[in-house]
Amino acid sequence: MVDLEIARQPWDDIPCGCSQSARHLADLLRRAAQSAEIELKGATECHVWSPVVLYSPAPAVAEVALAALADDLSQQAHEQFLELLNSLVHGEGTDLPEACERLASRGIWLLYRELALDRSINATATAFELLATLEPDRDRLRRAQIALGESLPWDYRPGMLNDPLDSSATDE
Ligand SMILES: [Zn+2]
């Protein structure tokens, strides 16, 4: 799925954060899916995202990251795409974070699958953070959070310091 999605995106027409065409990202993403040796978040900094702003390739890369979650990648490669998706959805900027959020919302059940498989505390916490932003059904997510129990970091559990559901409730 990740190769199909990489092939589908119009990389040549997208300006990269480094001011070249985004074509070079296609190769990077393909290699990251095959080998966990590429530190994906670091490798895409200043091309796709930065601490202050997302760049034009962000929505295309978000779609590739979602496709990667549907694939059977190594656990390490899988977690890197999950983390990248999280930094795009929670990135800075005006329209691009919203576009990434809209795209990622179509993959909500892929994120619930992360919770269900509970493969590592990092992956489970990252998927939960994404769902806290994306899932409109707060009751469903709260039930999942309670069911997860100790699979979540302690401060993400119901009523705790960083409970993502409490903070998003006060934001609204
Ligand atoms: Zn670039």
- For the stretch 41-79, pLDDT in tens is 999 999 999 999 999 999 999 999 999 999 999 999 999
Q: How far is the CA of 81 from the centre of ligand 1 (A)?
A: 18
Beta strands in the chain (DSSP E): none
User: Domain-by-domain residue ranges, the chain?
Assistant: 1-78, 107-172
CA angle 56, 41, 109 (to 5 degrees): 80
How far is it, in rounded angstroms, from Cα 36 to Cα 158? 33
Q: How far is the CA of 44 from the centre of ligand 1 (A)?
A: 8
pLDDT in tens, 84-108: 999 999 999 989 999 999 999 999 9
Q: How far is the CA of 160 from the centre of ligand 1 (A)?
A: 39
